[in-house]
Structures are given as C-alpha cells and as structure tokens.
Amino acid sequence: MLGILVTNLGTPDAPTPKALRRYLAEFLWDRRVVDVPRPLWWLILNGFILRTRPRRSAASYRKVWTEEGSPLMAISRRQTDKIRTELSARLRREVPVVLGMRYGNPSIAKALEELHGQGVDRLLVLPLYPQYSGSTTASTLDAIAAAVRRQRDVPGLRFIRDYHTDSGYLDAMAASILEAREGRPAAQRLLFSFHGTPLRFRSEGDPYYQQCLTTARGIAERLALKSAEWQVVFQSRFGREEWLRPYADETLVRLPGEGIKSVDVVCPGFSADCLETLEEIAEENRHLFLSAGGESYHYIPALNDRSDHIKALAGLIERNVCSWLD
C-alpha cells in the first residue's frame, strides 16, 4: 500500500517555559542544526541556553498561540487533511497521508508507526521545505532512518528533496502576492525573506542559498518585477557566527534612508505561518522599518492551506508516485 508522510520542523506542545525547554533541547541538540563539538555544546546548551531562552521563547509563542495550538501545528494539520483529500481524488483511491514533525509531536517515528500499522509498504516523504538544506531536509531523512532502523520490514522509500523550482509552487506564490497587493499600490520593494543558515554551510556545499535565489527569481519573473523592485534577505539568525547575508532586520533599518519608504515582505521558504513569520517578520521587523522612517509595511502570509498550494503539493506527490501505482 502507498502512504505519504508529510513533515515540517515542529513546535512546542504549549507556550510555556517547560514545553519550550523540552522542544529546544531536542531541536538544538541535532548535529544538523548545531555542529559544535558535543562536549562543548552540551555545556553551552544546558548551562546557559536552556536556562534562559525557554522563558523568552514562551513569551513569544504566547503572542501567536491560538485555540488550535501553535499556528504551525494548526496549519500543518489542515494541509495534511487537504492533501489527503486532493490526492485521493486525483489517484481515485484512498491514500494514507500522515503528519510527522521533526521535533516535538507528533513525531516522525510516531507517524511512521501509524503508516506501518495501515499496511504501508511504499512510502513517499514530503518535507514541506521548498528549498533543500542540510539543517532541515537532511535532518528529516536522519530521523526517518533512525525510526525505520527498528523495523524488520522496511518500506520502499522515496524522498522529495526540494521543490524550489516547481511551477505549481511558484505560481501559487506569485498569485498570493498579487492578491495581497490587490486594491493598493504596490510597495517600492518586495523583500523575499528566507530563514538564514550559517554562512559556513554554504561553503561546505549546502545548496540552500542558491536555491533561495532561484526561487525568488522565479517568482519575480512571474510578477514581471524589475531588478530594483525586489530583493532577497535572510532572517532568524542565532548565535555569533556569521550567517547568510543580507540580514532582514539590518536591511529594513537601512532602506528608509535610501528612499525606500514602502515594502512588502513575503517568506517563500515557509510553507506555513509560524513564530518566525508571525512574530519576527510581521511584528518585530515591521516595528524596525517604521521606526527607521518607513511609512508602509505589509507582511504577505505564507501559502498555508490555500487551494492552489494544496493542488501544487498534491501534484508534486502524484508525479513522484506515478510509477508505484498499480
């Protein structure tokens, strides 16, 4: 039987210091995320970060928490349900589609157990990261390998590495931007803000940076934007190491002084809105821009469970499983 595992980064179970401590301990201990030598990193993580950061992070999560839980969890569940419905209609059969988070709950291991219990012996994995990075996509594969290592009967496995040039995804991104700009003048500059990674990862062979540029260029072409009307920036850096530049916050502080008084910001690397988009981009960076002399700032939401996004993801899955169909 064919089954689909949809994955994303994950989220704490609650906006509390205790839940954040548990989540951050799992997330930040992943060698794909932080590759500092383990003895040194254990001391830093347990002696400082997990003593201070959970309280601050919990306060941030409380600002965006909903009755359904974290935005990422609520949206990911809706995406999974809609992908299941769309895919079953396309394939004219019921297909198990299960959500598993790389960190936190529901875990990837738990999702694989559920699929195994339904008799799945051909598994397609769709990490909802349009652009590949070792710190996200490869880490997902690590978790899958660790989980199936305990199984006697390992399923046939296909893994969607990235979809940063997928036409359905790019078309949906362009459509969402046009809709957000409907009824108002377009901003002077459209910023494509991607999650940052340490600059060192790029020199070590991670293709993430180049894929981000390719995605942004593909969307800009669909919108017929001139080169001066759009720009790529990187957000959410952590620690003292240099990360991919230009930094989103520094760019937004600088732009008003260069005569750019209105900006639209979109985050094509996030398939679902989460803390990094709703709190950092939509709120914190908006304040930075307006305080620096900017006049108009609009955050354009992630694709979330828009119908064109769901159709694009279902189409991506369909193309990757067609040879598996009886």
Annotated binding-site members: 195, 276
Q: Examine the domain organization and report whether 27 and 103 are in the same domain.
A: no
Per-residue confidence (pLDDT) for residue 325, from 0 to 100: 86
Q: Examine the domain organization and report whether 236 and 296 are in the same domain.
A: yes
Stated as kind and residue range, the H or E segment containing 300 is strand 296-300
3-state helix, strand, coil in the chain (%, to 5): 50, 15, 30
Per-residue confidence (pLDDT) for residue 240, from 0 to 100: 87
Q: Examine the domain organization and report whether 220 and 267 are in the same domain.
A: yes
Label residues 247-286 b or e (16+ Cβ within 10 Å = b). bbbebbbebbeeebbbbbbbbbbbbbbbbbbbbbbbeebb
Q: Examine the domain organization and report whether 145 and 272 are in the same domain.
A: no
Q: Examine the domain organization and report whether 79 and 149 are in the same domain.
A: yes
Amino acid at 39: P
Q: Hey, how many other C-beta atoms are within 10 angstroms of the C-beta on 35?
A: 15
Q: What is the pTM of this model?
A: 0.97
Distance from CA of residue 69 to its chain's centroid? Answer: 17
How many domains does the chain contain in total?
3
Q: Examine the domain organization and report whether 114 and 202 are in the same domain.
A: no
Q: Examine the domain organization and report whether 172 and 296 are in the same domain.
A: yes
DSSP string, 63-116: HH-BTTBSHHHHHHHHHHHHHHHHHHHHHTS---EEEEEEEESSBHHHHHHHHH
Q: Examine the domain organization and report whether 6 and 145 are in the same domain.
A: yes
Annotated binding-site members for Fe(2+): 195, 276
Q: Could you tell me the mean pLDDT of each successive run of 10 residues in the chain, 326 residues long? A: 97 98 98 96 96 97 96 98 97 96 98 96 98 98 94 94 98 98 95 98 97 98 98 94 97 98 98 98 98 98 98 98 86
Per-residue confidence (pLDDT) for residue 155, from 0 to 100: 94
Per-residue confidence (pLDDT) for residue 119, from 0 to 100: 95
Could you give the CA distance from residue 186 to residue 69 in angstroms, rounded to a whole number?
34
